[in-house]
Amino acid sequence: MVQIAIIGGGAAGMMAAATVAEQSPEAKVVLIERNKILGQKVRLSGGGRCNVTTGFSDMDEILRRYPRGRNFVKHAFYSFPPEKVMEWFEAHGVPLKTEEDRRVFPQSDKGDDVVGAFENLYQKLNVQVILGNGVQSISKVEGKFVIALSSGDPITADRVLIASGGEARATGGGYALASSLGHTITPLAPSLNAFVVQESWVKELAGVSFLSARFKLKGAHDFEFTGPFVFSHRGVTGPAVFSVSSLGAYELLKPEVPTRLLVDLLPTLGEPELLQKLQGEMAAHPKKTFENVMAHLVFKSVAEVACKELGIPAEKICAEMPRKDVNRSVAWLKGVPLTVIGRAAGDEFVTAGGVSLKEVDSKTMESKICPGLFLAGEVLDVDAFTGGFNLQSAWATGRLAGKFMAISK
């Protein structure tokens, strides 16, 4: 009887265990999770609703959401694309829904239901789940893996999957285990962050949101992304911000290294078009204050902040506005200047970096260095933007690893 050990009860580990158990019922499968709750991160994702996957079906469109690892996951994604992920959960008792922004959630809006599908399956197929017990070390002795736990007797396995997730700046956990078996760990950094900025005026706009704005982060490298965002008390947050932070995951963002961020609040209009539109509004309302006319184009609170930042008196009427100040106002709306001095927690907890993809077979998820060792999920150097893409990567790589772990050699 083949013995399979899966380290990590997150998305990738849960899917791998389910795949092995369904495809090879005679295999003895043990799933080891250091937390006392299975799938804790999955349960918490999407504000507890669990953004299971993406509703996009075009593979090129999907892969563009992966700043790191897109070529590596391509085979796994074609093997287990979002539509098959959805079919799997539906077949295992989790009805899904696709929202307008193409994010996919359980109809119940409960992440617990997603994990519950695995728990029910494990009971039926006799998968052994060990909770609240971490893995201290793995060694390979005479072709077998010996797994030392924090407590209890060691576990011996023919094949092992490391799917213990990511943890920015951490050197332990799955990274240490993979490293001890010969793998290289690429530099780690937090991803999908909100930005903390130096400018204190942002607190006046806390809660003000835009459906679309273009962000340009100008650090050691320049990064750009367009999408929704919201002002916060300390800076900016939301999907577009998370994506820019993901692209610039390795940028040093701290008070000692301030980084310029430009925000185009009206990305569908070029600067000449916006100037023309503003001048047209001014001509139509010459006796109104410039601040109030500017509020025809953006929120009143944004117009107030803009005028204050540009030194334009609140009582200044359109007929008295110098051309240069009108031009300055347009330039401000097309590139609101912010100074990023740090990162703050976003909606998800994702790590950029991980086990080097050069050392893993993308067709099977098996290590090229240590036969019988498999790796899947966020422990790999793969990460994506928000919107269900990181879970999609975990399901797909976990599925592929489980499939090949189940095949007798």
Fold: same for 193-265+337-344 and 271-334: no
Least reliable range by pLDDT among 168-172, 340-344, 388-392: 168-172
Number of continuous H segments (helices) and E segments (strands) in the chain:
13, 19
**Mean pLDDT, rounded, of the chain:** 94
Say how far apart CA 406 and CA 112 lie, in whole Å.
27
Structure confidence at residue 166 (pLDDT): 74
CATH topology of domain 271-334: Helicase, Ruva Protein; domain 3 (1.10.8)
Instruction: Please give the pLDDT value at position 168.
Output: 44
Biggest CA-to-CA distance, the chain? 88
Does residue 171 carry a pLDDT above 60? no
Assign 32 a pLDDT band (cuts: 50, 70, 90). very high
What average pLDDT does range 5-16 have in this prediction? Answer: 97
Over the stretch 256-305, which tens digit does the pLDDT of each residue have? 989 999 999 999 999 999 999 999 999 999 999 999 999 999 999 999 99
Q: Which amino acid is it at 277?
A: K
Identity (one letter) of the amino acid at 367? S
Q: Does residue 172 have a pLDDT over 70?
A: no
Looking at per-residue pLDDT, the higher value among 225 and 167 belongs to 225
pLDDT at site 226: 97
For the stretch 34-69, pLDDT in tens is: 999 999 999 988 889 999 999 999 999 999 999 999
Residue 369: HSE in the Cβ half-sphere, 13 Å Cα cutoff:
15
Rounded Cα distance between 289 and 315, Å, is 6
Backbone torsions φ then ψ of 377, nearest 5 degrees: 80, -155
pLDDT in tens, 317-359: 999 999 999 999 999 999 999 999 999 977 667 899 999 999 9
Q: State the average pLDDT over residues 182-196.
A: 94
Give the DSSP H or E segment for 348. Answer: none
Domain covering 3-189+350-405 in this structure, CATH number: 3.50.50.60
Task: Answer whether 379's CB lies under 8 Å from 174's CB.
Answer: yes
Two tokens at 23?
A: 């495809």
181 pLDDT more than 60: yes
pLDDT bin (cut points 50, 70, 90) of residue 408 is low
The stretches of 270-322 forming alpha helices (DSSP H) are 271-284, 290-294, 300-310
pLDDT (mean) for 17-23: 96
Residues 67-113: tens digit of each pLDDT: 999 999 999 999 999 999 999 999 999 999 999 999 999 999 999 99
Q: Which pLDDT value is given to residue 170?
A: 46
CATH class of 193-265+337-344: mainly beta
Q: Average pLDDT of 14-21?
A: 97
Q: Parallel, antiparallel, or unpaired: how do β-strands 155-157 and 144-149 relate?
A: antiparallel
Burial category of 262 from C-beta neighbours within 10 Å (exposed 0-12, middle 13-18, buried 19 and up): middle
Beta carbons of 301 and 291 less than 8 angstroms apart: no
The whole model's pTM is what? 0.92
Give the pLDDT score at 114.
Answer: 98
Domain ranges of the chain: 3-189+350-405, 193-265+337-344, 271-334
Predicted confidence (pLDDT) at residue 169 exceeds the cutoff of 60: no
**The pLDDT of residue 7 is above 90:** yes
